[in-house]
Structure 1
Amino acid sequence: MRNEEGFANTGFEIGLYTLGDLVPDPFSGKTISARQRMKEITEAAKLADEAGLDIFGVGEHHRLDYAITSPSVVLAAIAQMTKQIKLTSATSVLSTVDPVRLFEDFATLDLLSDGRAEIITGRGAFVESFPLFGYDTGDSAALFSENIELLLKLNENEKITWDGQFRSSLRNADIAPRPLQQKLPVWVGVGGTPNSAARAGRLGAGMAMAILGGDPARFKPLVEVYREAGLKAGHALENLKVGVTGHGYIAETTQQAKEEFYPYYSNYKSIVSQQLGHGEGRMSRFEFEKVAASDTALFVGSPQQIVEKILHQHELFGHRRFMAQLDIGGLPFEKVAKSIELLATEVAPVVRKATRKENVLVGV
C-alpha cells in the first residue's frame, strides 16, 4: 500500500501509540500481566507495520499500573519484528532522563531498525520519576529546558563540549554511536501551553499536540505560535512539523464504536482521575455522547467519521501526522486489532488521497 502510493515519506502520516496501561477490565475486574501487555503491544506494532501504517510509538511511565518504563528497549524488540514502520517514544520524560543516555539509546535503535527511530520528548503527567532518579519536581521546567537543548546539540555533533546546571560538564566528549539517519527526528510533546509551543518552534523541533477531547479549534493558536516562533528563529517552514495525537476507537459504524468503547473509555477516565489524585471521576453515558460528538477531538466512530475528524483538523492545523491511542481502559486486544485494521485499510488511504495534492504542491 505505501510503496505503490509513495505516501510513507512524503505524505500525511498515520500511526499508533500506546502507554501500556495495566488496568482492570471493567466487566471481569481482571488485569492482564505486564508480560501479556508487552506481547500485545509488540503484536499491535507488527499488525500496524504489515497493514502499512507509518509510525508506532510507546510511552514512558515508572508505575506498576503501566507496563513500559524503557521505550528504547521495547522499540528495539519491535524493530526486529517489523520492516518499514517508524518507531518513536511517546513520550520520553526528558525532565528525568539523561539526554546523553537518551540520544545514545535511540541512535542505537536507529542502527538496529535501519534508520526508523524518532524521539518525542515531554515533561510527562506523573512525578514518580523525579524521586526515582534523584530530581526535584520543582526543577521540572528548568530540567526540561536544559535537557532538550542538550539533546538537540548531541544530535548535531559527534563530539561536544557543554556546561549546564543539572548534570556534569562535557569536554570534547564522544557521542556514540551516531544514528544511521543524518539526525534523529526530535519532536516536543505539547499539551496546551503557548510557551511550550513557542519553545518547540524556536528549537526547530517538531510539535506533537496531545488533543484528547473537546473542540480541536482551541489548539489552532498553538500552531500559529509554534510556526511564528520557528520562522522568527530562522527555521524553514517545511521543517516545522506538526502532529496530532489523540484517543480513538474505530468500528464498522459510529454507533457500534460508541457502544463498544464507552465502558473502556469511562474505565480509563476513572482510573486516570484516581492516579492524578482527582477522585474517581467516572463518566456517564450522557457525558460520553457529548465528548464523542462529531465536532469533538475524540476519534471514536466509523471509518468515515474518523476521516472527517482528521481532515477537519488538517484544515485547522495543516499538520502532517496523526497518531491514535486505541488500547486504553483495558480494551481487549481483538478489538484493538480490528480498530488497527480499519485505521489502516479504510481511514489512512482516504486521508492520504485527500491530502496528497497539497503535499505535492508544497513539496512536502
Structure 2
Amino acid sequence: MRFGIMTLIDNVPDAASGHLLTPHERLHEVVELAVLAEELGFDAFGVGERHGPPFLSSSPPTVLSAIAARTHRIRLFTTVTVLSTLDPVRVAEDFATVDQLSGGRLELTIGKGNAPEPWQLFDRNPDDQYALQEENYELLRRLWSEEQVTWSGRFRPPLKDATTLPRPYQQPPTIWHGSATSERSVELAALWGDPVFAANVIQPVANYAKLIDHYRARWADYGHDPSAAVVGSGGTLYAAADDRTARREFAPYYEAAVTARDVPGNNTPFRSLDEAADHGPALVGSPERIADKILQQHVAYGHALQFFSVDSAGLPFHRKAEVLRLTAAEVLPQLRHELPDALPWPSAAAAPPAPSPATEGVR
C-alpha cells in the first residue's frame, strides 16, 4: 500500500486557541507540510479544489507547482479537480505544466464536485453535472494522448487541429475518478479502465464499500482484468500515544469541523468524535488502533492507496507535524509489511536525483 497526505486548504480559526492564519501563512504551511511528508517517507501529497469560504484551494496547479519546486520524489495529486465546471483545454495545459515541472509526478483526480460555488462562478448548470463530467473527461483524455485534436461537443466551442502545450511529461498522466456517493462517477472510471478514489470521510464504511463493489463489478462487465482495478481511499487522521489521549486532544477540532460544515451534501451522521472513531471512517487513536482500522477498511475496499487528512478546524502546524511523524514511524511500517505495494511508483524515500548539467546552478 502507498500513503499520502491531502488537504482542501481550509482556513479557519484554531478551535482551541482561536488563532487564524493569514492566507499567506496558510498557503505556505501547505507547502511545508508537503516537504515534511516527503522527508518522512510518505508517497503522495494531494491538494483539492474548492471555490468558496473557508477554503483557499481555488488553484491546485499553482500550489502543486510550488510543492514540486521543494520536493523530489513525492507524487503530486489533485484531490479533486472539479472537471465538470472547468474548461478541459485549460486543465490539460495547467496540469501538463505541473507534470513537466515535477518531472512526471502528477496524478490527476477528477470529480463533479459537491459544493454550489463553482456552478455560479463558472456559469454552469448543475443539472448538467454528469454530462459535463463525461464530455470534459473524454476531451481531456484526447488532449493528453493526441495532437492536432479535432472535436465538437455540447458544452464548449469546437476544436480544430488543437495541440495543447506543454505536452505532459508522462505519456500520459494517470487520471483517477473521485467519488463520495456517485455510482455514475465510478461507472465512468470502470468504462475507461481508470482507478477510483473513495472519499472515506463523511459516510459509513459500508456506503463506500458499496460504491467500490459497484466499480469492480462494472470494471469486469467492461471486459477489464479484475486484478487490474485500483482503488484509493481517504480518511481523517489524528494519532497520539494512546486512544484516550488522541480523542481528548482531537475532539474539540473534530466537533468544531462538524459544526462548521453542517450543510446539505457535506455533513456526516457521526456528530461526535467517539461516533466517528468507533463506527465511522475516522482514523483517530493510537498507532496500533489506526493500523488495525486501515487493515479492516482494506478488507472492505481492497485499496492500494491510503490518503490522510490532518486538517480540522485550524489544527496548528506543530500538531499536524507530530501526527505525521508518529504515523510515519509506527503506522506505515506495519501496513507496508502487511499490505505490499500495488502501485508502480518510485519510492518517496529515495535520494533526490542529481541535477543534470543543463539545470545545475539553476535554483
TM-score above 0.5, yes or no: yes
Q: Quote the offset at 1:282 in angstroms.
A: 12
Which residue of structure 2 aligns with residue 289 of structure 1? Answer: 274
Moved over 4 A (4+): 276-279, 281-284
Aligned residue in 2 for 1:9: none
- Whether 1:176 aligns to 2:153 is no
| Alignment correspondent of 1:142 | 131
Cα distance in 1 for residues equivalent to 2:327 and 2:275: 23
Is 1:130 matched up with 2:115? no
Match of 2:79 among 90, 103, 110: 90
2:249 to 235, 252, 260: 260
Q: 2:190 aligns with which of 196, 201, 205?
A: 201
Amino acid aligned to 1:146: E
Secondary structure (helix, strand or coil) at the match of 1:147 reads: helix
Q: Is the 8 A contact 1:192 1:222 kept in 2?
A: yes
Distance 1:236 1:171, change over 3 A: farther
Moved more, 84-93 or 265-274: 265-274
Aligned residue identity for 1:170 = L
1:117 partnered with 2:106: yes
Offset at 1:210?
0.8
Structure-1 separation of matches of 2:102 and 2:11: 27
Moved more, 31-40 or 231-240: 231-240
Residue by residue over 1:7-37, the C-alpha shift from the partner in whole angstroms, topping out at 9 and shown as x without a partner, is xxxxx11111000111122233332111111
8 Å CA contact 1:270–1:283 kept in 2: the answer is no
Q: Which string of whole-angstrom CA distances, capped at 9 and with x for unpartnered residues, describes residues 246-265 of structure 1?
A: 21211111111111111011
Structure 1-normalised TM-score? 0.88
Structure 1 stretch displaced more, 341-350 or 162-171: 341-350
Q: Does 1:245 align with 2:271?
A: no
Q: Is the 8 A contact 1:158 1:178 kept in 2?
A: no
Corresponding residue SS for 1:323: strand
Q: Are 2:326 and 1:342 aligned?
A: yes
Identity fraction in percent: 38
- Quick check: 1:327 aligned with 2:311? yes
Q: How much has 1:56 moved relative to structure 2?
A: 0.3
State the secondary structure of the residue aligned to 2:135.
helix
1:309 aligned partner: 293
Q: Select which of 216, 238, 246 maps to 2:205.
A: 216
Counterpart CA distance in 2 for 1:283 and 1:338 is 25
Q: Secondary structure at the match of 1:219?
A: helix
Are 2:148 and 2:163, in contact at CA under 8 Å, matched by a contact in 1?
Answer: yes
Match of 1:157 in 2: 146
Distance (Å, rounded) in 2 between the aligned partners of 1:34 and 1:102: 24
Deviation string 1:169-198 (CA, Å, 9 cap, x unpaired) is 111211222212121110111112323222
Q: 1:309 deviation in Å? A: 1.1
Name the CA shift for 1:269/1:303 in 2 (closer, same or farther; >3 Å).
same
Q: 1:60 aligns with which of 12, 32, 49?
A: 49
Number of aligned residue pairs: 343
TM-score (norm 2): 0.89
Q: What value does the CA root-mean-square deviation take over the aligned residues? A: 2.2
Deviation of 1:270 after TM superposition, in Å, equals 0.9
3-state SS of 1:16 partner: strand
Which letter maps to 2:186? Answer: A
SS in 2 for 1:172: strand
Contact 1:307 1:351 in 2 (8 A): yes
Gaps of 5+ in 2: 344-363
Question: How many Å separate the matches in 1 of 2:269 and 2:197?
Answer: 28
Q: Is the 8 A contact 2:114 2:266 kept in 1?
A: no
Structure 1, residues 302-342: CA drift from partner, whole Å, max 9, x if none?
Answer: 11111111111112221100001111211111111111112
Alpha carbons of 1:359 and 1:79: their partners in 2 closer, same or farther (altered >3 Å)?
Answer: closer
Q: In 2 relative to 1, CA 282–263 (structure 1 residues): closer, same or farther, beyond 3 Å?
A: farther
Rate the CA distance shift 1:99–1:16 in 2: closer, same or farther, 3 A. Answer: same
